[in-house]
Amino acid sequence: MRIASWNVNGLRSVSTKGFDDWFGVYLPDVIALQEIKATETDVMHLLEKWGNSYEATLFPAEKKGYSGTALLFRKGSSCLPLHVKRGLDLPEFDSEGRLLTAEFEKVILMNGYFPNGQRDHSRVDYKLDFSRKVMKEALRLHKEKKKEIIITGDLNTAHTEIDLANPKSNAKTTGFLPHERAFLDEMVENGFVDVFRHFHPGKPEQYTWWTYRGDCRERNIGWRLDYFFSTQGLLPKVTKVEHQTQVAGSDHCPIVLDLEL
């Protein structure tokens, strides 16, 4: 089972920058997208174009051109979901289309676009509230369904100093605030594993987002904001986890997890 996750910064935008070439080469069984900024109506022509390869579930925000998540499932794959749920049944988050949960035979995948805390930190509390609600739901599903859980997406936080190029100058920047980072510590304390760091501990300069300003991507001045967190039992099934930094099309790059289920 190959799962790819990508903050595309606009589904319509990335569709003009080689998105279908990318999935045509790598053939993920599941593609988890964040920040799609589109409704089904907006991208119906794209869904029809890709329809021979993937079937899609979109969860757009109520606000036009904002937020939203999607899951694409490869047709003919042996890894098709039993069902997909939109949201947390909490209007304050679901109105922004921030979470899609897909249950498969052996795993449950939660695709989240975690809020940005904003430069003035005005949405940090909202971000942390959403984050803890997602973790609580993941723990509930793990206990109830007896299946391994994968939380993926743009978590909008760099966990430790190794996860961004300039930790000192960003100490008071949202995405690296102590209480934002502490939430990722909470995830670990509750039994979730940062899969990339589990297999690549201490490896520097591993980023998934770069600002468009100042040639930062070319100079690899970035942040690691995109993750696969999983329950411990999934780790023996992981065959590969990587950042596809060579793939353009967004200010984020895709991340990919290969499993032998």
Residues 6 or more apart whose CB falls under 8 angstroms from that of 87 comprise 59, 93, 94, 97, 98, 99, 100
Angle of helix 178-189 relative to helix 124-145, nearest 10 degrees? Answer: 10
Q: Out of 154, 163, 194, 226, pick the active-site residue.
A: 154
DSSP-derived secondary structure for 6-30: EE-S-HHHHHTTTHHHHHHHH--SE
Q: In the sheet where 255-259 sits, what is the strand order?
A: 54-59, 69-74, 30-34, 2-7, 255-259, 238-243
With 0-12 CB in 10 A as exposed, 13-18 as middle and 19+ as buried, what is 161?
middle
Whether residue 102 contacts residue 156, with contact meaning beta carbons closer than 8 Å, is answered with: no
Per the annotation, the verdict on 154 as an active-site residue is yes
Q: Which two tokens stand for residue 248?
A: 């353009």
Q: In the sheet where 192-194 sits, what is the strand order?
A: 83-86, 99-103, 107-113, 148-154, 226-231, 192-194
Q: Which amino acid is at 255?
A: I
Q: How far apart are CA 172 and CA 84, in angstroms?
A: 37
The residues annotated with a catalytic role in the active site are: 154
